[in-house]
Amino acid sequence: MTRQVLVIEDEPNIAEAISFILSRDGWRVSTHASGTTAVQAVRDAKPDVLILDVMLPGKSGYDILQDLRSADDTRALPVLMLTARGQKTDRELAERLGVNRFMTKPFSNSEMLTNLRELVGG
């Protein structure tokens, strides 16, 4: 069964790298670059798992996560959050808001794949 992942990341080279890694591993990948329309993009794509960058134009990943967790249709969606700033306070905020996994950039390909497989149960 092909798993669908939505990558919300505004840096084209990072989004492209993640797409390549995941596509090669058999995932169906879609990308989105705007924080402002991210929640609607999640609703439209109905992914099995979401990769969400923290710093996005228009709306932060934290705000998007909060919106997703407060809505019935997206509350249980597994979310892997990416950030260039991996301070303890960033991680704690993400956890308070209901993130499932938190990774700092740069990340290893194998770490990304392991986390996603665990989030979707295999």
pLDDT digits (tens, 9 = 90+) for 29-62: 999 999 999 999 999 999 999 999 999 999 999 9
Structure tokens at 44: 């439209």
Q: What is the pTM of this model?
A: 0.96
Q: 4-119: what CATH class? A: alpha beta
CA separation for the pair 24, 19 (Å, rounded): 8
Domain range summary for the chain, segments of one domain joined by +: 4-119
Mean pLDDT of 92-120: 96
Mean pLDDT of 83-112: 93
Residue 2 has pLDDT above 90, yes or no: no
Residue 85's pLDDT band (cuts 50, 70, 90): confident
